[in-house]
Amino acid sequence: MNLPRIVIALAATPLLASAAFAHVTLENREATAGRSYKAVLTVPHGCGSSPTTGIRVTIPEGVFSVKPQPKPGWQLATVSGAYARGYQSHGRELREGVKEIAWTGGSLPDDHYDEFVFVAQVDASLAGAGQVHFPVVQTCASGEARWDEVREADSTARLERPAPALRILAASGERPAQGAGHGAAASVTKGDIVVAQPWSRATPGGARVAGGYLTVTNRGAQPDRLTGGSAEFAERVEVHEMATVNGVMTMRGLGSGLEIPPGQTVELKPGGYHLMFVGLRRQLTEGQTVKVTLTFERAGTVELNFRIGSIGGRAAPGGGDHSHH
């Protein structure tokens, strides 16, 4: 499980629900997949006038290597358990870890403010997850408040006691694309494979090749391999690598495909691994979206919408001529 850095604002009573600090929130509401994260639980209120005596946080799957910070005057306890899968950390695989943290035995008056801190790792496999949630239970001398409601997909209903939500960013620091409306490039999950941010560059008239770029995350315990694909606008879709050898930039096709190790994210980008759309049947123009089907050894086929950006673009949703390959 990956742990983000979180600042959570807690409040106890429905009477405070309209206030900014009336419920548990995240001060820093974004974390980057594959990196460490610090969580600061901010408690600005008690339960009505009753002081806060305990804070308990549940850690979601994909957040791991959790280390809570001891707090003077409070007892610190953790509950550990098995992860749904192993996570790589400093060259070793972690199969279990902290799944719940509790600070108890203190007394935080309703009119005082305090913070509860922990650090963790956010696994690369969460790159296409969108959001993860951290349910919190606030115990008071009289009663408790449970901040554990999660909004259903596509729902706009107002939650009375929402769980803190953390948005997961791709390793590049860009937000994962949400949905394919208006030509947006959506992340797609197939089995253990998550493909996000597919894009390409516009091509000049007469160009015969173009590049394709994206990120691939393997959430499984076994390696997979991207072997190629197909597209109606090109004769072939191949996997290529660009690298500098003895000071000379070279490019080669990967006949056996590109391995996607378990628990890792591989980025296909300009100047590195990338797709090659070979034998273009038509020009790619900025602003359009084209369909591409990728093929993986284990996950099978994955259909994607690639956004076409400007010629010479270096990042999504950029696009450009790849014919110098």
Task: Convert the pLDDT of each residue in 264-274 to its tens digit.
Answer: 999 999 888 99
> Do 129 and 21 fall into the same domain?
yes
**Amino acid 24: pLDDT:** 58
Task: Convert the pLDDT of each residue in 10-26 to its tens digit.
Answer: 333 333 333 334 465 76
Backbone dihedral angles phi then psi of residue 49, each to the nearest 5 degrees: -100, 0
The mean pLDDT value for 42-64 works out to 90
**Amino acid 233: pLDDT:** 94
pLDDT at 245 over 50: yes
Q: Is residue 118 part of a domain?
A: yes
**How sure is the predictor about 209, in pLDDT bands with cuts at 50, 70 and 90?**
very high
Domain CATH code at residue 59: 2.60.40.2230
Give the residue with greater pLDDT, 61 vs 29: 61
**Number of structural domains found in the chain:** 2
Domain CATH code at residue 245: 2.60.40.1890
> Do 108 and 243 fall into the same domain?
no
- How is 231-271 classified by DSSP, letter by letter? ETTEEEEEEEEEEEETTEEEEEE-TT-EEE-TT-EEEE-TT
Task: Convert the pLDDT of each residue in 72-86 to its tens digit.
Answer: 999 999 999 999 888
11 lies in which domain range?
7-169
**Amino acid 323: pLDDT:** 34
Q: Is residue 45 part of a domain?
A: yes
The mean pLDDT value for 44-68 works out to 92
Q: In this structure, are residues 212 and 319 in contact, taking their beta carbons and an 8 Å threshold?
A: no
Q: In this structure, are residues 57 and 100 in contact, taking their beta carbons and an 8 Å threshold?
A: yes
**How sure is the predictor about 310, in pLDDT bands with cuts at 50, 70 and 90?**
confident
Please state, rounded to an integer, the average pLDDT across all residues of the chain: 82
Task: Convert the pLDDT of each residue in 172-204 to its tens digit.
Answer: 544 444 443 334 445 788 888 999 989 999 888
> Do 163 and 258 fall into the same domain?
no
> Do 232 and 145 fall into the same domain?
no
Q: What DSSP state is assigned to residue 175? A: P
pTM for this structure? 0.50
**Amino acid 185: pLDDT:** 45
State which of 169, 196, 212 marks the end of a domain: 169
**Amino acid 322: pLDDT:** 36
Q: Is residue 239 part of a domain?
A: yes
Q: Is 122 helix (H, G, I), strand (E, B) or coil?
A: strand
**Amino acid 293: pLDDT:** 95
> Do 151 and 202 fall into the same domain?
no
Q: In this structure, are residues 150 and 156 in contact, taking their beta carbons and an 8 Å threshold?
A: no
Q: Is residue 325 part of a domain?
A: no
> Do 185 and 299 fall into the same domain?
yes
Q: Is residue 86 part of a domain?
A: yes
**Amino acid 9: pLDDT:** 41
The mean pLDDT value for 259-280 works out to 92
Task: Convert the pLDDT of each residue in 109-158 to its tens digit.
Answer: 988 888 888 899 999 888 766 788 999 999 999 999 998 888 776 567 78
Sign of the alpha-carbon torsion through 265, 268, 273, 277: positive
> Do 59 and 89 fall into the same domain?
yes
285 is written with which tokens? 């123009």
**How sure is the predictor about 90, in pLDDT bands with cuts at 50, 70 and 90?**
confident
State which of 134, 169, 204 marks the end of a domain: 169
**Amino acid 254: pLDDT:** 93
pLDDT at 36 over 50: yes
Spatial separation of the C-alpha atoms in residues 265 and 98, rounded to whole Å: 24
> Do 154 and 197 fall into the same domain?
no
**Amino acid 23: pLDDT:** 66
Pairing relation of β-strands 209-218 and 7-9? unpaired
> Do 111 and 148 fall into the same domain?
yes
> Do 200 and 96 fall into the same domain?
no
Cβ neighbours of residue 112 closer than 8 Å, sequence gap 6 or more: none
> Do 147 and 17 fall into the same domain?
yes
> Do 136 and 200 fall into the same domain?
no
Pairing relation of β-strands 30-32 and 165-169? parallel
The mean pLDDT value for 259-281 works out to 92
127 is written with which tokens? 């790159």
Nearest-CA neighbor of 258 among 202, 325, 213? Answer: 213
